Chain A
Amino acid sequence: MKNQRVGRLNLKVAGDKIHFFFSLLRQGFMVEAPVGCSVKTMLNNTLGMDDNYVEDRIKTIFLDAKPVDDIKTACINDGSVLALSGAMPGLAGATLRRGGQLASFRGSISCRSGGKNALSQEGHVVVKLFNLLVNDLGRIFLKQGILIKKKQLEDFFGSRTADFWPSLKSEYLDSHKINLDTWSEIKFPDLLLLVAEPGEES
Chain B
Amino acid sequence: MDKILRINVGADGGPEFKTETLGDYAGLGGRGLTSAIVSKEVPPSCHPLGEDNKLIIAPGLLSGSAAAMSGRISVGCKSPLTGGIKEANSGGQPSQMLGRLGYAAIVLEGQPKTDSLCKVFINKDGVKITEDNSLCMLGNYAVVDKMKAEYGEKIGVISIGPAGEQKLAGASIAFSDMELRPTRHAGRGGVGAVMGSKGIKVIVVDDAGCSVRSPAKPDDFKAANKEFVAGLRKHPVSGEGLPAYGTNVLTNVINEAGAYPTNNFQTGQFAGCEKISGETQAETENARGGEGSATHGCHRGCVIRCSGTYYDKDGNYLTKQPEYETVWAHGGNCGIDDLDAIAQLDRLDDDFGLDTIEMGATIAVAMEAGIAEFGDAEAAIKLVKEVGAGTPLGKILGSGAAVAGKVLGVERIPVVKGQAMPAYDPRGIMGIGVTYATSTMGADHTAGYAVGSNIMGIGGKTDALSPVGQAELSKNLQIATAAIDSTGMCLFIAFPLLDQPETFQALIDIINGFSGASLTADDVTELGKSILKNEREFNAAAGMTNKADRLPDYFKKEKLAPHNITFQVSDEELDQVHNY
Contacts and interface: CB of A to CB of B under 8 A. Distances in A.
Q: Do A and B bind each other?
A: yes
A157 to B, nearest CB: 15
A104 B456 contact: yes
B432 A104 contact: no
Given A88-B250, A101-B467, A105-B431, A131 B498 contact: no
B445 A107 contact: no
Interface in B423-476: 424, 428-432, 435, 445-446, 448-449, 452-453, 456-457, 461-463, 465-468, 470, 473, 476
A110 interface: yes
Given A85-B253, A93-B250, A131-B244, A105 B473 contact: no
A29 interface: no
Contacts, number: 165
B241 A62 contact: no
A90 B498 CA distance: 12
A118 interface: no
B279 A105 contact: no
Contacts of B252: 26, 85, 128, 130-131
A59 B563 CA distance: 22
Given A102-B453, A131-B241, A26 B279 contact: yes
Nearest to A94: B495
A85 B245 CA distance: 13
Contact of B236 (A23, A105, A132, A163): A132
Given A59-B236, A101-B466, A106-B429, A89 B254 contact: no
A105 B250 contact: no
A105 B456 contact: yes
B274 interface: yes
B253 A96 contact: yes
A109 interface: yes
Contacts of B430: 105-108
A134 B283 CA distance: 12
Interface string A89-128: 1111111100111111111111000000000000000001
Interface string B241-276: 110110101101110111100000000010000110
Contacts of A78: none
A60 interface: yes
B250 A103 contact: no
A105 B283 contact: no
B166 interface: no
Given A92-B424, A108-B565, A86 B236 contact: yes
A26 B275 CA distance: 11
B463 A130 contact: no
A81 to B, nearest CB: 8
Contact count band on A: 35 or more
B376 interface: no
A62 B453 contact: no
B562 interface: yes
Given A105-B456, A130-B279, A134-B279, A65 B236 contact: no
A13 B431 CA distance: 45
A70 B495 contact: no
A69 interface: yes
B563 A89 contact: no
B562 A65 contact: yes
B contact face: mostly helix, strand, loop, or mixed:
helix
A26 B274 contact: yes
Contacts of B563: 65-66, 108-109
A67 B257 contact: yes
Contact of B448 (A66, A91, A103): A91
Given A104-B456, A107-B463, A128 B256 contact: yes
A48 B474 CA distance: 38
A92 B254 contact: yes
B141 to A, nearest CB: 28
A92 B429 contact: yes
Contacts of A134: 279
Nearest to A85: B253
A94 B432 CA distance: 11
B562 A93 contact: no
Nearest to A65: B258
A53 to B, nearest CB: 13
B293 interface: no
Given A101-B473, A104-B453, A104-B457, A91 B465 contact: no
A70 B365 CA distance: 39
Given A23-B280, A60-B253, A95-B432, A89 B237 contact: yes
23 contacts: A22-B283, A27-B274, A60-B253, A65-B258, A88-B237, A88-B250, A90-B445, A91-B446, A91-B449, A92-B250, A92-B424, A92-B429, A95-B429, A96-B257, A99-B466, A101-B466, A104-B462, A105-B452, A106-B430, A107-B463, A108-B430, A128-B256, A131-B241
Interface of B: 235-238, 240-242, 244-245, 247, 249-250, 252-254, 256-259, 269, 274-275, 277-280, 283, 287, 306, 324, 424, 428-432, 435, 445-446, 448-449, 452-453, 456-457, 461-463, 465-468, 470, 473, 476, 491-492, 495, 498, 562-563, 565, 568
Given A90-B324, A128-B252, 13 more contacts: A70-B465, A85-B252, A87-B237, A88-B241, A88-B249, A89-B237, A99-B466, A101-B473, A106-B429, A109-B257, A130-B253, A132-B240, A135-B244
